[in-house]
Amino acid sequence: MSPLATGTDAVAREASVYLHAYTRQPLTLVRGAGCWVWDDAGREYLDLVAGIAVDVLGHSHPALVSAIAEQAATLIQVSNLYYSLPQLELAEALTASSAFDRAFFVNSGTEANEAALKLARRFGGSRREVVALTGSFHGRTLGSLAATGQPKYQQPFAPLPAGFVHVAPNDVAALVAAVGDQTCAVLLEPIQGESGIHPLSDEFLVAAREACDRVGALLIFDEVQTGVGRTGTFYAFEQTPVVPDVVTLAKGLAGGVPIGAVLARAGADAFHAGDHGTTLGGNPLSCAAGLATLRVIADEGLMANAAERGRQFVTALAPLPGVAEVRGRGLMLGVETVGPIAKQVVAIARERHGLLVNATGETTLRIVPPLTISADEVDQAVSRLATALSDAAA
């Protein structure tokens, strides 16, 4: 398929100035509003990618725009040498009436997991081992990469930090056997995202909770992708029988402004002064964006909308020709295609039908739109996707 003509020639320009780490779609996005984005040739797309499960309020939500503008005009960055009010207020908002008592802010998902892993090792004392899952994704810095149970991401960068053990998702016996007197934490995504939207069973989550309690290890949930309302509740674990000791967030937490967070119950607060830190993490700008994002999620009922629109997607997508299965919760859905056509569907949807959707593999389409998506936009998305699926099959 030939690349779309673009008005800014970004494909050629990037090739000579940017490190070649990305496989990008041939599309340059220049503007967004709600669930819609526009490219540099003025073409409109319905966005089911949302910055990879980030833009929970849609693009350029007026409340987020004005919170960012107001904070930018007041104070952007002061470092963690000093106290700052937006940081305190966001920590208070995330710990009020939640399972967690302490917050710590960083700038991304991988940094949130790095902080959680360091917290676990500090908590564990001489116990250094972390049990994680095969097929998981926790980020690309070396500690998070060591936790990520996918050799394709790990092998080019070996040796990775030691002390990580991997077991298969939903294999209760393997998990119970792996957690022992050297374990300081079990780290898992309640719904594995990057590997194709695979929810873990309640039985497995309960077994993880019990195994951690048996040896006094921390149960850490990576809710970088599942968190901030995406599955219909603020945390995905709220729809399970299990509460973790520590949770990590990032992606949608500040509506698209870089941020990450570790939240922990008071008993897991093992850091001493100087153990961890970040220059930009928790700066006034990102925390003001985070506060505005939480406010809009509550004011506009976006978690309920995520649950309802998710059901609408599942009901409409499941019977489509070319769809084998629809997995996930709320607005974090994986559509399994009949045959390895997912990447072709992505290209056809973008080029012919003005729809942005992402593939996590040869047979899985990922649907993670803004939580603001309307019933009419879901109908439009399904009809565009149905046509792209039948085009790909033809």
Ligand X SMILES: Cc1ncc(COP(=O)(O)O)c(C=O)c1O
Residues of this chain that bind ligand X (CB under 6 A)? 108-110, 113, 137-139, 189, 193-194, 222, 224-225, 250
Whole-number Å distance between alpha carbons of 254 and 288 = 8
Is the Cβ of residue 316 or residue 356 nearer to ligand X in the bound state?
Answer: 356
Q: Which of 123, 251, 271, 313 is catalytic?
A: 251
Measured from the CB of residue 85, what is the shortest distance to ligand X in angstroms? Answer: 25
Measured from the CB of residue 52, what is the shortest distance to ligand X in angstroms? Answer: 6
Backbone angles phi, psi at 44, to 5 degrees: -100, 140
Residue nearest to ligand X (CB): 109
Is the Cβ of residue 332 or residue 335 nearer to ligand X in the bound state?
Answer: 332
Q: Which of 39, 47, 55, 222 is catalytic?
A: 222
Whole-number Å distance between alpha carbons of 8 and 337 = 34
Whole-number Å distance between alpha carbons of 219 and 54 = 25
Measured from the CB of residue 141, what is the shortest distance to ligand X in angstroms? Answer: 8
Q: Which of 104, 105, 137, 234 is catalytic?
A: 137
Measured from the CB of residue 46, what is the shortest distance to ligand X in angstroms? Answer: 22
Is the Cβ of residue 54 or residue 316 nearer to ligand X in the bound state?
Answer: 54
Distance of CA 334 to the CA centre of its chain: 14
Is the Cβ of residue 120 or residue 386 nearer to ligand X in the bound state?
Answer: 120
Whole-number Å distance between alpha carbons of 145 and 153 = 7
| Long-range contacts from 143-151, C-beta under 8 angstroms, 24+ separation | 143/113, 143/114, 143/117, 143/118, 144/109, 144/110, 144/113, 144/114, 144/117, 147/113, 147/117, 147/187, 150/195
Q: Which position has the token pair 């006094």?
A: 216
Measured from the CB of residue 192, what is the shortest distance to ligand X in angstroms? Answer: 8
Distance of CA 125 to the CA centre of its chain: 30
Amino acid at 227: G
Structure tokens at 233: 């509740």
Is the Cβ of residue 141 or residue 387 nearer to ligand X in the bound state?
Answer: 141
- Is 222 catalytic? The answer is yes
Measured from the CB of residue 328, what is the shortest distance to ligand X in angstroms? Answer: 13
Backbone angles phi, psi at 250, to 5 degrees: -170, -120
Is the Cβ of residue 55 or residue 222 nearer to ligand X in the bound state?
Answer: 222
Distance of CA 11 to the CA centre of its chain: 27
Measured from the CB of residue 182, what is the shortest distance to ligand X in angstroms? Answer: 24
Q: Is the Cβ–Cβ distance between 247 and 186 less than 8 Å?
A: no
Q: Could you tell me the CA-to-CA distances from 275 to 244, 271, 278 in Å, in that order?
A: 22, 6, 11
Q: Is the Cβ–Cβ distance between 4 and 41 less than 8 Å?
A: yes
Is the Cβ of residue 36 or residue 153 nearer to ligand X in the bound state?
Answer: 153
Q: Which residues are tagged catalytic?
A: 137, 222, 251
